[in-house]
Amino acid sequence: MAGIPVHAWTLLEAARAIREKEISSRELTRALLSRIERIDPQIRVYITVLPEAAMQEAAARDEELAGGHLRGPLHGVPVALKDIFCTKGIRTTCGSRILGDFDPPYDATVTKKIREAGAVLLGKHNMDEFAMGSSTETSWFGPTRNPWATDRIPGGSSGGTSAAVAAGTCFAGVGTDTGGSIRQPASLCGVVGMKPTYGRVSRYGMIAFASSLDQAGPIARSVPDAAVVLGVIAGHDRRDSTSVDIPVPDFLAATGKDVKGMRIGLPREYFAGGLDASVREVVERALKALLSRGAEAVEISLPHTEFALSTYYIIAPAEASSNLARYDGVRYGFRADGGTGLIEMMSRTRGEGFGAEVKRRIMIGTYVLSAGYYEAYYGKAQKVRTLLRRDFTEAFSGVDVILTPTAPTPAFRIGEKVDDPLTMYLSDIYTIPCNLAGIPGISVPCGMSPDGLPIGAQLLGRHFDEEALFAAAAAIEREIPLPRVAPLEG
């Protein structure tokens, strides 16, 4: 890896170099902490940096390795988490004022698993408040900036993690995706992001937004890196009754699989009018890459696609309004001053503790669940959800994976859509159906816009067939080599 600065190494390169003692975990961790210090003021990714704890963990990993003990595939590698995963003894904010200085009494299963695999935790990443947003602008801590153009948004809600991976201020991270919150920012930041099948990764200790849609997944600089991280965090957990008890396959091996004969579905509804020309061109490049390796293109139809956004904006806010009822200023977090009586304390705490987007969604959710409206909105949306799922089941009887754009446009400017919720919601139009159907999806970088902004393509797969997505995404990545990190210098 002569000539490539350490911060631009892939996670697999870093893990190998540590294992073969070419570099220590302490050297690598120190290099990244110093890069965070220089670069982060330009992009504002880290809500919390853990310089001392990270150096202590790195020293412990080095000592273990010297004694011949290797914890797992992330041994000694510095990574970070979206600030939605509980970290014992480390402030966890979910991008909100209402959590205050919440210091979780336990680790999320994702946190526990990356630690058990040997990772060094650098810190916690900025996000849209409670993961509600597509730009990381709704965070109480202020917006994160796109490392490729710092006047633009990084996407969201896992915008912090995507920006950090693109800026070389961590080797990989874990985000969450309820309607596109891993894939859309990954596309806008030029990195790889996967939302696994619902139930593949435990949601224990992951702060809930919409429980029937939320899923954790990896964000990384290469497809094999993402595969390794998913292998670490996946698996059944008795603490999450919706986590599925099936074996975790060798995802890294899947990235080396041939795509010859693979049938690639192209849903005509996703390529209809209104698609940005540069995005269309990039997705066509991805298709060409797959065809050049022997895959076949099949035109398909997902006829209920136009109803996905409406369905989502009933179901997600409804679940959110219920999940967020727990923030009442009683047991943890922020409590507003003044007022008399319990109800007034709770209402003021929530009024002052939540930001505008979260309040908007609580209002939508409460409205659609309220007496007299439940059947017309929530009941109806659950039925349309069935039709959307059926679209995919039928499509996958004739194809192995589906190729689409990830986001309708490259990164937009900070402030551009902040006062127009419906336009902002349209950012997730291609990613939302996947969550409603519970299927896996991945975004892989495929090119740049004329302005030098990254653009990704999305691949969707059958339930629990992340392997096909890794195989296809890795093939695209090999055919379309792109810069790994944004040219940011401090």
Partner 1 sequence: MAITREEVLQVARLARLALSSAEGEKIREQLGGILSYIRQLDRLDTTGVVPTSHAIEMGTPFRDDSAHPFGEKEEILKNAPDREEDFFRVPRIIED
Q: What separation, in Å, do the N-terminal and C-terminal C-alpha atoms of the chain show?
A: 22
Q: Which of 118, 173, 199, 441 binds partner 1 (CB under 8 A)?
A: 199
Q: Which of 24, 157, 162, 427 is catalytic?
A: 157
Residue list 272-331, contact with partner 1 (CB under 8 A) = 304, 306-307, 309-311, 313-314, 321, 325, 328-331
Non-local (6+) Cβ contacts of 20 within 8 A are none
- Catalytic residue selected from 134, 135, 139, 181: 181
124 tagged catalytic? no
Q: How far is the CB of 340 from partner 1 (least distance, A)?
A: 7
- What CA–CA distance (Å, rounded) separates 220 from 12? 10
If the CB atoms of residues 107 and 225 are measured against partner 1, the closer one turns out to be 107
Scanning residues 89 to 108, which ones bind partner 1 (CB under 8 A)? 100, 102-103, 105
Cα separation, 347 vs 75, in Å, equals 46
Peptide bond into 157 cis (omega under 30): yes
Least distance (Å) between residue 397 CB and partner 1: 18
449 catalytic per annotation: no
- Cα–Cα dist 204/242, whole Å: 10
Q: Which residue of the set 82, 112, 195, 417 is catalytic?
A: 82
Distance CA 323, CA 181 (A): 18
> Does the footprint of partner 1 cover residue 270 (CB under 8 A)?
no
Distance of alpha carbon 404 from alpha carbon 389, whole angstroms: 17
Report in angstroms how near the CB of residue 102 gets to partner 1 at its nearest.
6
Pairing of strands 401-405, 263-267: parallel
Binding partner 1 (rule: CB under 8 A), the pick from 2, 273, 340, 372 is 340
82 is catalytic: yes
CB of 249 to partner 1, least distance (A): 17
Instruction: Please list every residue from 395 through 424 that binds partner 1, using CB under 8 A.
Output: 421-422
436 forms part of the interface with partner 1 (CB under 8 A) = yes
Closest approach of partner 1 to the CB of residue 432, in Å: 13
User: Which residue in 335, 408, 418, 479 binds partner 1 (CB under 8 A)?
Assistant: 335
Burial state string for 282-295 with b = 16 or more CB within 10 A and e = fewer than 16: bbbbbbebbeebeb
The distance of closest approach from Cβ of residue 426 to partner 1 in the complex, given in angstroms and rounded to an integer, is 10
> Using CB under 8 A, which residues numbered 360 to 399 contact partner 1?
360, 362-364, 366-367, 370, 377, 379-387, 389
Q: Which of residues 30-69 bind partner 1 (CB under 8 A)?
A: none
Q: Are 165 and 183 spatial neighbours (Cβ–Cβ below 8 Å)?
A: no
Nearer to partner 1, 271 or 307 (CB): 307
Distance from C-alpha of 316 to C-alpha of 385, rounded to nearest angstrom? 12
Q: Which of 197, 222, 404, 458 binds partner 1 (CB under 8 A)?
A: 197
Q: Which is nearer to partner 1, 272 or 343 (CB)?
A: 343
Tell me how far, at minimum, the Cβ of 440 lies from partner 1, in Å: 11
Q: How many residues bind partner 1 (CB under 8 A)?
A: 73
343-362 binders of partner 1 (CB under 8 A): 343-348, 350-352, 354, 356, 359-360, 362
Backbone angles phi, psi at 190, to 5 degrees: 75, 35
Give residues 445-484 in contact with partner 1 (rule: CB under 8 A). 463
Q: Helix %, strand %, coil % for the chain, to 5?
A: 40, 15, 45
Helix residue ranges per DSSP H, 190-329: 223-233, 251-254, 277-292, 308-323
Q: Kindly give, in sequence order, each residue whose CB lies less than 8 Å from that of residue 475, ignoring residues fewer than 6 positions away.
A: 259, 289, 290, 293, 295
Name the minimum Å distance from CB 307 to partner 1.
6
| 255 vs 427, beta carbon nearer partner 1 | 427
CA dihedral 276, 281, 285, 288 (to 10 degrees): 110
Backbone angles phi, psi at 361, to 5 degrees: -70, -35
d(CA 421, CA 425): 6
Residue 147 C-beta: closest distance to partner 1, Å: 31
Q: Read off the tokens for 347.
A: 């209402």
How is residue 318 annotated by DSSP?
H
Residues 240-269 that bind partner 1 (CB under 8 A): 241-242, 244
Q: Which stretch binds partner 1 (CB under 8 A): 12-20, 43-51, 197-205, 287-295?
A: 197-205
Pick 9 or 464: Cβ nearer partner 1: 464
> Is residue 483 exposed (0-12), middle (13-18) or buried (19+ Cβ within 10 Å)?
middle
Could you give the residue numbers annotated as active site?
Answer: 82, 157, 181
